[in-house]
Amino acid sequence: MDQKQFLEYIALQLRIDSVRSTSAAGSGHPTSCLSAADIISALFFSVMHFDKTDPNNPGNDRFILSKGHAIPVVYAAYKHLGVITDEQLLELRKFDSPLEGHPTPRFPYNEAATGSLGQGLGVGVGFALASRLDGVKNTTYVMLGDGEIAEGSVWEAAEIAAKENLANLVAVVDCNRLGQSEPTLHQHHVDTIANKFAAFGWDTYAVDGHSIDEILAALEAAKENKSPTMIVAKTFKGYGLDDREDKNSFHGKPHKPAELDGAVAALSARFGDAANYSGETNYTPPLPTKTNAKPSPAPLVLDLASDPSKEKFALGEKLATRKAFGHALAALGRVSQEVVVLDGDVKNSTFTQTFQDEFPDRFIQCYIAEQNMVSTATGLTLRGKISFAATFACFLTRAFDQIRMAGIGRVPLRLSGSHCGVSIGEDGPSQMGLEDLGMMRSVPNSVVLYPSDAVSTYKLVGHMANYTEGMSYIRTTRSDTPVLYAHDEQFEIGGSKIVRQSESDSVVIVAAGITLHEALSAHKQLLAQGVNVAVLDCYSIKPLDVNTLRKLASKSKNRVIVVEDHYQAGGLGEAVTHALVNDNVHVEHLFVNNISRSGTPAQLLADAGIDAKSIIDNFNNFREDAHV
């Protein structure tokens, strides 16, 4: 078999099938597939080693399509590998087909959900790191578009890949000169692009992306490199169709049914030699080297009673939940080799350094680049790691798009945000997480936790490690707060704790995190006045423990005060009012309703109207209004 002729034949078939499937779908991006077809042919039909019957084989070389809109050319490759049928291919973008318009895990050969550009390389960094940690000798390939390298996240990933010397990471830019709406920044200046990656520490090649020989030579050379490899491939958008090739305004324009036969004929005519290829067309990729199969990690069990730090968790001791988070991570590290932790140069604030101190080899410094930290955590998680990524809660907003995509990808990403709310004090509003609960609640299947003390934090981190149906998030507090719970107290995702209750409560104060301590102070002061109120620790913001909330409200004169160190939108208060709107319960909501500033934590809690005094004042107004 003449390999070059075979690969050119396959490239032609991929082109034809990309045009056919998008035409059948009536939407999609055929011209973005045509530029990529030769590279895909070379990768899937020559270079990559993988078990085509088992996408989960840990030894497989991996392929991430960062320019997700070109996924039809990859689906076409799977057709020619015999993984899907032609009928299935032509169901592209249909409601019942797993072959979506951009890659999602509904088609199990898609390595990651992409479609928001600039994220694939960071996921690839995670894959490459996972292989290194596991001693797997595979290669992760990432295909990017030239438009998407304008995204800063690409350069964050490039930075870390070089710093980590990820020789097992090979990326290709399909440099087809045209973006969605106009030419890209560097158009066909492939050397300019290559120079940029070289300055970031990559081994680089600029090649003709329609020359099988040049593509193969660069991919072959990459195997010997000691750094990550970037191949900048000069291609033409719509390559093979004279009426569209290298022309603007054909992005996302499939052929009308009446145009389809002409387009297929034009492709066959243009690539006559390939069309006339008569050799073997069945192809099975070389199998990967066997890796030692690892069992899926069983549920991890944390035992606080035997933790070396347990004295710090004694009732009444003061221990910030962020510090408890660090101890819990270290404990997880002891029970599973799969646990890895990612930092954005704030480990001494989030206390991930407690993990690093014990497990430096499983600690990944991502520097101040939160987007890539989240994408890399996504990649590690997809490759079986139990990864926790942590930074200040406010800085996770930097990675909202990456978080959103991990949600679509059904990735059990585990995140922590510290320094939540105005209670951080003097550093001021730029450092305060005040929108994180809403952001994290919006992710489908997410779990959102906001514990008030060290014991509940420790135990909830253990639950996060075992939660696999979606993302989980834990919000931690800067200041030291008293331990409220005994070591044997149990906490659950979706649970809550009634921390104060009597037979005659006039209201239930619903709080979490720092405001629970304000609620307890309010409780104490009201009790001194002879007023009983209930207090609920609503540590599971999502799912919310609506049953307990409802029962407790009904025993507390159907009155609720929700108090949180967060803005209104999407926070605990909106979750509670949404849940109770039809319950005939009166709800008051205290939240941060201004732009905060520098000041002491006590001043800022008072200024925002979420301290103990504000709770008491609100309750008193409330009583007067209700003529109690």
- Contact with a second copy (CB under 8 A): which of 8, 61, 343, 611? 343
With beta carbons less than 8 A apart as the criterion, state whether 366 and 352 touch.
no
Residue 570 contacts a second copy per CB under 8 A: yes
Taking the complex as a whole, the smallest distance from the CB of residue 250 to a second copy amounts, in Å, to 11
The contact pattern for a second copy, residues 164-193, with x = CB under 8 A and - = no contact, is: ---------------xxxx-xx--------
* CB-nearer residue toward a second copy: 56 or 430: 430
**β-strand partners of 342:** 364, 389
Q: Which of residues 379-408 bind a second copy (CB under 8 A)?
A: 394-395, 397-398, 400-401, 404-405, 407-408
Sign of the CA dihedral with 524 first, then 526, 531, and 536 last = negative
Residue 152 contacts a second copy per CB under 8 A: yes
Structure token digits, residue 119:
């994220």
Angle, helices 572-580 vs 546-554, to 10°: value is 70
Residue 594 contacts a second copy per CB under 8 A: yes
* Residue partners of 183: CB distance under 8 A and separation at least 6: 177, 248
DSSP string, 362-400: GEEE--S-HHHHHHHHHHHHHTT-EEEEEEEGGGGGGGH
Q: Which of residues 257-296 bind a second copy (CB under 8 A)?
A: none
DSSP β-ladder status, 497-500 and 534-537: antiparallel
Q: Tell me how far apart the alpha carbons of residues 148 and 154 are, in angstroms, rounded to a whole number.
A: 8
Angle, helices 612-625 vs 514-528, to 10°: value is 60
With beta carbons less than 8 A apart as the criterion, state whether 122 and 157 touch.
yes
* CB-nearer residue toward a second copy: 365 or 521: 365
Residue 527 contacts a second copy per CB under 8 A: no
Q: Tell me how far apart the alpha carbons of residues 79 and 354 are, in angstroms, rounded to a whole number.
A: 49
Taking the complex as a whole, the smallest distance from the CB of residue 460 to a second copy amounts, in Å, to 20
Where does this chain touch a second copy (CB under 8 A) — which range of 12-20, 321-329, 500-508, 597-605? Answer: 597-605
Rounded-to-10 torsion of CA 183, 186, 190, 195: -160
Structure token digits, residue 233:
């491939």
Residue 479 contacts a second copy per CB under 8 A: no
Q: Which of residues 443-472 bind a second copy (CB under 8 A)?
A: 443-445
* CB-nearer residue toward a second copy: 533 or 575: 575
Number of residues that bind a second copy (CB under 8 A): 109
Taking the complex as a whole, the smallest distance from the CB of residue 5 to a second copy amounts, in Å, to 35
Residue 559: name the closest of 490, 492, 625 by CA.
625
- Contact with a second copy (CB under 8 A): which of 238, 326, 425, 451? 425
Which H/E stretch holds residue 28?
none
Residue 426 contacts a second copy per CB under 8 A: yes
* CB-nearer residue toward a second copy: 11 or 610: 610
Q: Which of residues 62-121 bind a second copy (CB under 8 A)?
A: 68, 93-95, 97, 100-102, 104, 106, 113-118
- Contact with a second copy (CB under 8 A): which of 435, 537, 545, 564? 435
Residue 584 contacts a second copy per CB under 8 A: yes
* Cα distances (Å, whole numbers) of residue 83 to 87, 549, 550: 12, 50, 51
Indicate which residue of 100, 156, 214, 370 is catalytic.
370
Query: Does 156 qualify as catalytic in the annotation?
Result: no
Taking the complex as a whole, the smallest distance from the CB of residue 431 to a second copy amounts, in Å, to 6
* CB-nearer residue toward a second copy: 296 or 430: 430
Residue 28 contacts a second copy per CB under 8 A: yes
Taking the complex as a whole, the smallest distance from the CB of residue 44 to a second copy amounts, in Å, to 23
Q: Which residues are catalytic?
A: 370
